[in-house]
Structure 1
Amino acid sequence: MPDETAPSTTSSNRLLIKVTRESLPQVKDKYPFIYLERGRLEIDDSSVKWIDCDANVVRLPIATLNCLLLGPGTSITHEAVKVIAQSNCGVCWVGEDSLLFYASGQAPAADTRNMRAQIKLSADPKKSVEVARRMFARRFSEADLTGKSLPEMMGMEGYRVRALYEQNGQKYGVGWKGRSFTPGKFELGDITNQVLTASNAALYGILSSCVHSMGYSPHIGFIHSGSPLPFVYDLADLYKEHLCIDLAFSLTLEMAGRYNKHKVSAAFRQRVIETDLLGKVGQDIEIMLGVKNARRDRQ
């Protein structure tokens, strides 16, 4: 039998290296994301290249990226999508400066063991609430959640988040009038709300890519429902306090009334790396669901 990892050639004599599951780095070892806008993703030999609007060419290390966030003015070839999917790198379509999360491409998972476990838990009312309780316990470490219903815990979370906004406002000396966002009118929000919206969208993109790459479904949640990505929103609430809320208030005064997309993107990415988000997601999902990862379970 031929070696699956051996180089192969096509009729155009392009060199293509077949990517195998064993050759890919794990989610925890990848770089979180790259945001791209106004350009085109194509294939050159076995690599993916980015051509921007000024005709500059940049080769992207797809296998070491968790996801690509594609903003306005981007296009991608069919061949590029194939190679990106084989490398288990997520593709997410977002608004300008990652302000809105629109959609994500689902990479084909090697098996459905993790998804089956997730579905079984979600379909059992008692077990589903237990998963939700573990998620809330992460935020309420000193509270006794035994016997608490989902609506009761959601009410507690609402009070906690509102208190976080007020505490961070006092900590950083920022006036806070409440969370607000009008779709299509991003500029109407104050600086704090703008940073919150942008960082939330980037976090959703990263987590969507992680969930897909590990064989789970972003559509099967335990707290959120009636939304496009309930499981992603469930997980995002575990990390928003530092990655999004604290970040937004800490940057507000620095930007002096003018939103700076480069500063927001750089600061958010740095926090993702410092907190080792990609290293935590897989472990956190296992803990929250009370299951073992399919890949490790097979070994």
Structure 2
Amino acid sequence: MPDETTPGVALSNRLLIKVTRDSLPQVKDKYPFIYLERGRLEIDDSSVKWIDCEANVVRLPIATLNCLLLGPGTTITHEAVKVIAQSNCNVCWVGEDSLLFYASGQTPTTDTRNMRMQVKLAADSKKSLEVARHMFAKRFPEVNLLGKSLKEMMGMEGYRVRALYEQKGEEYGVGWKGRSFIPGKFELGDITNQVLTASNAALYGILSSAVHSMGYSPHIGFIHSGSPLPFVYDLADLYKEYLCIDLAFSLTLEMAGHYNKHKVSAAFRQRVIEMDLLGKIGQDIDSIFGVKNAHRDSQ
């Protein structure tokens, strides 16, 4: 069920099954996400409704949402999937509390122009390295990266992130013993690591949804490789400092040793909205691909 931070929109708005490209808001104009758990998504009179475990019914404004994060205990009907896909709203399956990212449903787009461009860049070793260099340049604006290999830039990034952890620990008065996560044993991590894991996974869900919606492939990366969603992980590193790392350290003392998923979700969502993440993603992809007028918002 949506927590107390469910967006202030009229949930009674009906969504017609037959939608057009012109009637859908662009990715940058959508609300980032809603997290649901223990309930059922189905169709009623052409609108998508959520029925929670206590039989409460909430109608969801699917056309204005970027993605739905479905937690444990959720079911969804075939018809609901169809309407959600037609509305260019992505569906992601995640875990409880930690919001571990499991899978994402691919949303159809109008053409493959952006994906073709992405594939061409990735297939050319020189162009692929240039794209990676543009990504690192956003984190090292004062450093001349010309001539740097991918391995060298990844080494620089690793050092930067480790230093950032130490810096945030000192800034917020939090002891830091290093990044630690054991799959399936979320509760064994300290509070800082738990918030990092949860916010990282939520960020992956949002980025996966946006990448699909704009007609790119999450599977074709330029820095990461050998992972399920390399391009999503590439992009996530552009935003983790504020959305995940700073958030985790800022909430650690406040939660006083007790992880609160609602507080984490609310704080993360607020930061996503404040930084206009959905508006930045398309612009940043244009920048790293070196294009001026990419077809970003395929609907």
C-alpha distance in structure 1 between counterparts of 2:216 and 2:234, whole Å: 13
Hey, which bits of structure 1, 4+ residues long, moved more than 3 A?
none
- Stretches of structure 1 lacking an aligned partner (at least 5 in a row): 1-14
Would the aligned equivalents of 2:70 and 2:92 in 1 still touch at CA under 8 Å?
A: yes
C-alpha distance in structure 2 between counterparts of 1:140 and 1:220, whole Å: 23
Kindly report which structure 2 residues correspond to 1:43-192, keeping only aligned pairs within 5 A, or say none.
43-192=43-192
Matched residue type, 1:127: K
**Identity over aligned pairs, percent:** 87
Would the aligned equivalents of 1:67 and 1:89 in 2 still touch at CA under 8 Å?
A: yes
Q: Give how far 1:22 is off.
A: 1.2
- Stretches of structure 2 lacking an aligned partner (at least 5 in a row): 1-14
**Structure possessing the higher relative contact order (Cα contacts under 8 Å, 6 or more residues apart):** 2
- Please give the per-residue CA displacement for 1:36-79, whole angstroms capped at 9, x wherever unaligned: 00000000111100000000000000000000000000000000
Q: For 1:132, what is the secondary structure of its paired residue?
A: helix
Tell me the residue number matched to 2:295: 294
- Please give the per-residue CA displacement for 1:208-243, whole angstroms capped at 9, x wherever unaligned: 000000000000000000000000000000000000
Matched residue type, 2:228: P
Tell me the residue number matched to 1:221: 221
Q: Give how far 1:21 is off.
A: 1.1
Report the TM-score, using the length of structure 2 for normalisation.
0.93
Would the aligned equivalents of 1:33 and 1:67 in 2 still touch at CA under 8 Å?
A: yes
Tell me the residue number matched to 1:274: 274
Q: 1:162 to 1:115 in 2, by over 3 A?
A: same
Q: 1:276 to 1:67 in 2, by over 3 A?
A: same
Q: Give how far 1:98 is off.
A: 4.7
Q: Give how far 1:97 is off.
A: 2.7
C-alpha distance in structure 2 between counterparts of 1:256 and 1:221, whole Å: 38
Which has the higher Rg, Structure 1 or Structure 2? 1
Report the TM-score, using the length of structure 1 for normalisation.
0.93
Would the aligned equivalents of 1:35 and 1:98 in 2 still touch at CA under 8 Å?
A: no
C-alpha distance in structure 2 between counterparts of 1:207 and 1:97, whole Å: 19
Tell me the residue number matched to 1:9: none
Q: For 2:183, what is the secondary structure of its paired residue?
A: coil
Would the aligned equivalents of 1:69 and 1:98 in 2 still touch at CA under 8 Å?
A: no
Q: For 2:97, what is the secondary structure of its paired residue?
A: helix
- Please give the per-residue CA displacement for 1:151-171, whole angstroms capped at 9, x wherever unaligned: 000000000000000000000
Would the aligned equivalents of 2:17 and 2:83 in 1 still touch at CA under 8 Å?
A: no
Aligned residues: 283
Matched residue type, 1:294: H
C-alpha distance in structure 2 between counterparts of 1:295 and 1:72, whole Å: 32
Q: 1:72 to 1:289 in 2, by over 3 A?
A: same
C-alpha distance in structure 1 between counterparts of 2:188 and 2:202, whole Å: 20
C-alpha distance in structure 1 between counterparts of 2:289 and 2:69, whole Å: 28
In angstroms, what is the RMSD of aligned CA positions?
Answer: 1.2
Q: Give how far 1:16 is off.
A: 4.8
Would the aligned equivalents of 2:26 and 2:297 in 1 still touch at CA under 8 Å?
A: no
Q: Give how far 1:99 is off.
A: 2.5
